[in-house]
Amino acid sequence: MKSNTEKFGKTPHQPSLWTRADALKVHADDPTTTQPLVSADFPVLSNEVFIWDTMPLRDLDGNITSVDGWSVIFTLTADRHPNDPQYIDENGNYDITRDWNDRHGRAKMYYWFSRTGKDWELGGRVMAEGISPTVREWAGTPILLNEQGEVDLYYTAVTPGATIVKVRGRVVTTEHGVSMVGFEKVKPLFEADGKMYQTEAQNPFWGFRDPWPFRDPNDGKLYMLFEGNVAGERGSHTVGEAEIGDVPPGYEDVGNSRFQTACVGIAVARDEDGDDWEMLPPLLTAVGVNDQTERPHFVFQDGKYYLFTISHTFTYADGVTGPDGVYGFVADSLFGPYVPLNGSGLVLGNPSSQPFQTYSHCVMPNGLVTSFIDSVPTDESGTQIRIGGTEAPTVGIRIKGQQTFVVAEYDYGYIPPMLDVTLK
């Protein structure tokens, strides 16, 4: 494999590395970085649909924004099929686990609204059937642009391919609720280039998705984070000294970790409107450590850049492991260098007794962390589970320098606004 300098050039920055040595510091069940147990008697948002990735409406500075007193979230959503013969097992029972596991293939973007920042009411689909160019509408970010209520929804159009796209519409409020209008013309922005970011041709398991646009608090320019893998044919990456880091004797063996090549990508807009983008080298790479750094996002606090990203146990490389949850890194400037929070990167992981209880965490600038419930064991042995497909209890964390601490737990799906915009 080419070194980072050869692959990414000398400017504008070198990616920071999440090393194997960093990951060896990840410890499940540390109470300061573990999500409280989710009880199996959780309420569900809807019996008609599953929801998972949750995307609160926000502005380009990252503030969670309500409009005319209405909070709004977007969610990846798929119908539940309790009566579909396809999901009835040989005993005549609804196989909800299979239905849930199949959801990614039929993900659509829906929106919900609320007066209280919880108890969400279903608004409906954001785009009518046939508007989005591909089968799957995968995660992204809805941005409130102005007091006219214009919204740019950045998301990922998947199958065929994976393209970062955006669609513009408008949020309209009444006394009784919220609707989304427009969202009729989807504009493709960019796809993986094969030089910095891995393509489907280089690796059928590639990841390229989850746009998170933002205005840099320092230079004022419009950028976008996204999930990627480092370019190159699958299996061609090498895990050398830099990727390994400072490991103790006996930890030098990297096994087959060359297959894990996650990175956090960044692009810069060439225009004010964010219609024309240039991909830059990744901010962070996890070659030899983990294959997925999903839904990357920032919290700007105390003049620092707190970079968060979600990852799984099953995507860790040989010889390193950690819980499903959200990981974080901090830098003094946008292009790094980034160091892992808490030494390891782990910020909020599932407890080992309930390893799949939640996922897709989003850390908001007020320190609240939203996620969805995946599955919770209903018996001691963990063989019986209850599928979620709904909002998890929100967790509060405190971010202090290079450390984070779990400090609070709130209601299911509690996503309070940080500012309210009165529409003109």
Q: Enumerate binding residues for ligand FRU (CB under 6 A).
A: 52-53, 76, 104, 107, 138-139, 156, 209-210, 227, 294-295, 359-360
> Nearest approach, Cβ of 294 to ligand FRU (angstroms)?
4
> Nearest approach, Cβ of 288 to ligand FRU (angstroms)?
21
Backbone torsions φ then ψ of 20, nearest 5 degrees = -65, -35
Token pair listed for 199: 């393509």
* Of residues 55 and 397, the one with the C-beta less far from ligand FRU: 55
DSSP letter at 378?
A: -
* Of residues 67 and 157, the one with the C-beta less far from ligand FRU: 157
DSSP-assigned letters across all residues of 165-233: EEEEEEEEE-SS-EEEEEEEEEEEEE---SSSB--TTT-TT---EEEEEEE-TTT--EEEEEEEEBSS-
Q: Which entry of 53, 137, 152, 324 is annotated as an active-site residue? A: 53
Helix (H, G, I), strand (E, B) or coil at 129: coil
Q: Which entry of 291, 294, 324, 391 is annotated as an active-site residue? A: 294
Helix (H, G, I), strand (E, B) or coil at 6: helix
User: How crowded is residue 355: how many other Cβ atoms within 10 Å of its Cβ?
Assistant: 19
Catalytic annotation on 380?
no
Token pair listed for 136: 């799957």
DSSP bridge pairs for 166? 154, 187
Q: CB of 391 within 8 A of CB of 373?
A: yes
* Of residues 326 and 334, the one with the C-beta less far from ligand FRU: 326
* Of residues 237 and 295, the one with the C-beta less far from ligand FRU: 295
CA 286, distance to chain mean position in Å, is: 16
> Nearest approach, Cβ of 292 to ligand FRU (angstroms)?
7
* Of residues 70 and 154, the one with the C-beta less far from ligand FRU: 154
Token pair listed for 345: 């990167």
* Of residues 178 and 266, the one with the C-beta less far from ligand FRU: 266
> Nearest approach, Cβ of 121 to ligand FRU (angstroms)?
23
Catalytic annotation on 53?
yes
User: How crowded is residue 182: how many other Cβ atoms within 10 Å of its Cβ?
Assistant: 17
Q: CB of 213 within 8 A of CB of 257?
A: no
> Sign of the C-alpha dihedral, residues 367, 108, 102, 119?
positive
User: How crowded is residue 90: how many other Cβ atoms within 10 Å of its Cβ?
Assistant: 6
User: Hey, which residues are catalytic here?
Assistant: 53, 294
